[in-house]
Amino acid sequence: MNNTVQKNETKGLFFGIMAYSLWGLLPIFWKQLDSVNALEILAHRISWSFVMLLLLNIFSGKKSILLEVLKNKKKLLTTILAGFFISANWGIYIWAMVSEKIVESGIGYYLNPIMTVALGGLVLKEKLDKGVYLSIIIAAIGLFIMTISYGHIPWVSFLLALSFAMYGLVKKLADVDAIVSLLIETAFLLPFALAFLLYIRLKGNYAFGSSGFYITAMLMLTGLATSIPMLLFSEGVKRLRLSIMGFLQYISPSIQIILGLLVYKESLDKIGAIAFAFTIAAVIVFTLTRSYNKNT
């Protein structure tokens, strides 16, 4: 490996680690807004993300790419569909953060890579080896144990994993530049976000501008909190193999679960711990299998 390639991969590793570390630490940010309605937070996240991404598209010279996507009906509709899945993921995630379900959401993101691979096999007809099938079965057992423990399906974990996996699948099918794609996704969601903000403003149940400077500033910063990790992720994925980026993904839920257990004192009973152990076992089998197949 020459020095140029090695430096490029080192930069990619840095960007990837930073992206997933920031995503893992984001619960601290969202916890500052636990007095605000989750839907209002989501609406502000969409609105301020649009502003940030519009500026990024202008200053990064991606106008021609944007126009090309807008003229391509198939890519445009696929990107809009991606916007639906990422908004669902954001909404569930924010609700989980302000509802003391940080650990459960972290488990969801542990399940996400495995669910992504499963969708790749089912939808894209990608070849799945026996180890991947085994990891899916182990993860399913863990999810079943959690269901028995809770007395209901742990829908936060399941829906977070499914929505982000579907988002990744649709993004794969769209094959659009990351910044341009996210701008279109937020542009599609923007009218709904603004309509909701106007509605709650008229109803008088509006945190922005009426709950003090700190809350207002934090709501404005939701755009930065969304855009910066996405940009770091985009720079990392350009420089690293997808298998490495997939492995780095486990940084985020690991930090998230540690925060939930140690900082925010969320509990994990014995049955929940056993279910979580199955999830970790599935991750280990999945990672080792992928690593082995890459080297053979």
Is the pLDDT higher at 243 or at 173? 173
List, for residues 196-227, the tens digit of each pLDDT value. Answer: 899 888 887 788 877 788 999 999 999 888 88
The pLDDT of residue 246 is 60
The stretch 193-198 carries a mean pLDDT of 91
Per residue, what are the HEC states of the chain?
A: CCHHHHHHHHHHHHHHHHHHHHHHHHHHHHHCCCCCCHHHHHHHHHHHHHHHHHHHHHHCCCHHHHHHHHHCHHHHHHHHHHHHHHHHHHHHHHHHHHCCCHHHHHHHHHHHHHHHHHHHHHCCCCCCCHHHHHHHHHHHHHHHHHHHHHCCCCHHHHHHHHHHHHHHHHHHHHCCCHHHHHHHHHHHHHHHHHHHHHHHHHHCCCCCCCCCHHHHHHHHCHHHHHHHHHHHHHHHHHHCCHHHHHHHCCHHHHHHHHHHHHHCCCCCCHHHHHHHHHHHHHHHHHHHHHHHHHHC
Tell me the whole-structure pTM to 2 decimals: 0.72
- With 90 as the cut, is the pLDDT of residue 96 above it? no
Average pLDDT, the chain: 78
- According to the model, what pLDDT value does residue 152 have? 66
Q: Is the dihedral of CA 160, 27, 142, 139 positive or negative?
A: positive
More confident residue, 18 or 152: 18
Residue 149 has pLDDT above 60, yes or no: yes
**So where are the chain's domains?**
8-125+155-251
Dump pLDDT digits (tens) for 38-75.
888 889 988 998 998 888 888 877 778 888 888 888 88
